[in-house]
Amino acid sequence: MQTRTALVTGANGGLGTAIAKGLAIEHHMHVLVAARQMPDARETADALRSAGGEATPIQLDVSSDESVAKLRTTIEQAGGRLDVLVNNAGRNSMTEQSEASLGTVDMKTALGEFDTNALGALRVSQASFELLRKSDAPRVINVSTEMASLSTAATDFYPLAPSYRISKVALNAVTVLLAREWAKHCILVNAYSPGWLRTAMGAPEAPYSADEGAETALWLATLENNGPTGRFFAEMRRMGQPVVLDW
């Protein structure tokens, strides 16, 4: 069987590295390790190769049209087909004082977060489409958050975090619409919430490791062809099994 190829954005740390590791080591995929800075991508790819995996470093800034435009050529050089795309790259300004109220949200911050978290995933998905179509089991996984669930946003216990939430609600919209449009090409597109993690974006006291947060991504990356699409899943660790979240 041909080795499957996966692209993970923001793969130089935290959850992205954990997902890249799971795909390369547990699932024996060739992982394209994408990071904003090439030395960071190289460092993670080298670590995966040292652990016995197949990994290729890629420079990719998901908020840059120019950087994403080069992606297709890069993937073509790396084999010309993409089986799994994980849109993991993200930013979060939640701890900034201006995010404590909708009245003080800084528009530049909000636009930056929207550009990376929502449009970044769309840009990379657009650039990957023709390469995903060459796969016999193409999967797209968008890393979202429970904070993006509009059905619970009015009453949940999470911080207000308006810029982050708005960007991830938009990422969920990208998920549903891509799933609908790409259903005819049998590309399964799903979003998931990894839970609160012990990463740079999360906190040392968070309940889950990055590896635990990666579990749902690995499950979504290896779905059967009749698997779900256009859905939003919770982290599997807490639930013990895949659980669908309300949008």
Ligand X SMILES: NC(=O)c1ccc[n+]([C@@H]2O[C@H](COP(=O)([O-])OP(=O)(O)OC[C@H]3O[C@@H](n4cnc5c(N)ncnc54)[C@H](OP(=O)(O)O)[C@@H]3O)[C@@H](O)[C@H]2O)c1
Interacting residues with ligand X (CB under 6 A)? 9-10, 12-16, 36-37, 60-63, 88-92, 116, 120, 143, 145, 193-194, 196-197, 199-202, 206
Q: Which residue has the tokens 């978290």?
A: 117
* Euclidean distance between the first and the last CA atom of the chain, given in angstroms as a whole number: 37
Q: Which is closer to ligand X, CB of 166 or CB of 226?
A: 166
Q: How far is the CB of 184 from ligand X (least distance, A)?
A: 28
Q: How far is the CB of 136 from ligand X (least distance, A)?
A: 28
Taking the C-alpha atoms of residue 117 and residue 168, their distance in angstroms, rounded to an integer, is 6
Q: Which is closer to ligand X, CB of 92 or CB of 163?
A: 92
Q: How far is the CB of 186 from ligand X (least distance, A)?
A: 26
Q: Which is closer to ligand X, CB of 106 or CB of 158?
A: 158
- SS3 at position 111: helix
Contact 52, 27 (CB under 8 A): no
Q: How far is the CB of 168 from ligand X (least distance, A)?
A: 7
Q: Which is closer to ligand X, CB of 183 or CB of 244?
A: 244
Q: Which residue has the tokens 């998901």?
A: 62
Helix (H) or strand (E) holding 230: none
Report the length, in residues, of the chain: 247
